[in-house]
Amino acid sequence: MASNRKILLLPGDGIGPEVTRQAARVIEYFDKRRIASFEVKEDLVGGVAFDRHGTPLTEAAMKAALDADAVLLGAVGGPKWDNLPFAQKPERGLLRLRKDMELFANLRPAFVFDALADASTLKREVVAGLDMIIVRELTGGIYFGEPRGISTLPGGGRRGINTQVYTTDEIVRVARVAFELARKRGKRICSVEKANVMESGVLWREEVTKLHAAEYADVQLTHMYADNCAMQLVRNPKQFDVIVTDNLFGDILSDCAAMLTGSLGMLPSASLGAADKGGRRKALYEPVHGSAPDIAGKNLANPLASILSLAMMLRYSFDMEDEAKLVEQAVAKALAGGARTGDIAQAGMSRISTTAMGDRVLGELQKLA
């Protein structure tokens, strides 16, 4: 059995350690049952790292992240650290990880568990069975483009500038991640931009089309303008399999898609970097939610986003599709059996703790395995 799967846990702040602990129990389960073995290390990030070391991410933790095959992060931040200087803020730790690991593709699935279809603000028939994923370009585009800034005009008025800019390489590498993903799913990609009004969108469309013809003709490719995509996501989200889009549109559309599914406590994510010679990508997995200071330390948080982030790790970093599915099925069964933390409990349902939700998922895993 291969034991070269190196995982770094960075639980972070607030509810981060509580939810990451439940995901770590799933790793320990696979290890104990000899289904797969992992080498797990743990370090600090965010406010807790600042409290201990005076920095939100030590060089040693950064090195451990670069050495690992995959990082599982909890959450960073909280009111205790809100007034720190910019460079020491907890978020800087996470941003440094994303930057130094060169994570350019952000994967945000929107998956509706049948037991939670009524938790969406949309009608059950619109969201039941939804299983799509948005691939967002994460390190380019208007959030990083130059020139940027605010200048004062001769008349005393001011001008704010940001620049939307993409190169062929930036488009092709993220599109490649999306095409590879589509191949493992429903083999359909929708590429989203605004080629009708933006040159960067024209280039995006041309490069994605070229890559498709050259290497991925077995995947169905369609194109859509971002404004139409926003409408389609709430009108008929089940038409999508994989959406690939730029940083700005991806930021907005992935939040929109996330809310189709109900609660923040259910949403996993992955951020991937370039593949090395052996085909392995640097990767960071994390729940979409933050550190939830309002419920931190109370054993109330929903750990499923963290557990589902771990399932993504098994799938994308370790090629363990069967085990990833097993974890997702265990979550589905726990939910079907009525397991609910406060954030996903409907009126009249009893609420269980973070650890009890972990127990339920592990119990289902045992029954399934």
Binding flag, residue 18, ligand NAD (CB under 6 A)? no
Closest distance of CB 287 from ligand NAD, Å: 6
Angle at 328 between CA 325 and CA 333, to 5 degrees: 120
Q: Which residues have C-beta within 8 Å of that of residue 82, sequence separation ≥ 6?
A: none
CA distance 302 to 150: 41
Strand partners, 286: 269
Q: Which of residues 245-284 bind ligand NAD (CB under 6 A)?
A: 264-265
Q: Which of residues 77-136 bind ligand NAD (CB under 6 A)?
A: 77-78, 94
- Mask 320-359, x = binds ligand NAD (CB under 6 A)? ---------------------x-x----------------
Peptide bond into 287 cis (omega under 30): no
Binding flag, residue 290, ligand NAD (CB under 6 A)? yes
Cα–Cα distances (Å) from 332 to 128, 244, 267, in that order, read 13, 27, 14
Q: What is the DSSP letter of 106?
A: E
Closest distance of CB 216 from ligand NAD, Å: 31
| Binding residue for ligand NAD, selected from 191, 291, 309, 317, defined by CB under 6 A | 291
Residue nearest to ligand NAD according to CB distances in the complex: 290
Closest distance of CB 343 from ligand NAD, Å: 4
**Positions marked active-site:** 143, 194, 227, 251, 255
Closest distance of CB 192 from ligand NAD, Å: 23
Binding flag, residue 363, ligand NAD (CB under 6 A)? no
Q: What is the DSSP letter of 280?
A: P
CA distance 19 to 50: 21
Check: CB of residue 140 under 8 Å from CB of residue 104: yes
Binding flag, residue 295, ligand NAD (CB under 6 A)? yes
Alpha helices, DSSP H, located in 43-150? 47-53, 59-67, 90-100, 124-127
- For ligand NAD, the closer of residues 5 and 25 by Cβ is 25
Q: What does the binding site for ligand NAD look like in residue numbers (CB under 6 A)?
A: 15, 19, 75-78, 94, 264-265, 286, 289-295, 301-302, 305, 341, 343
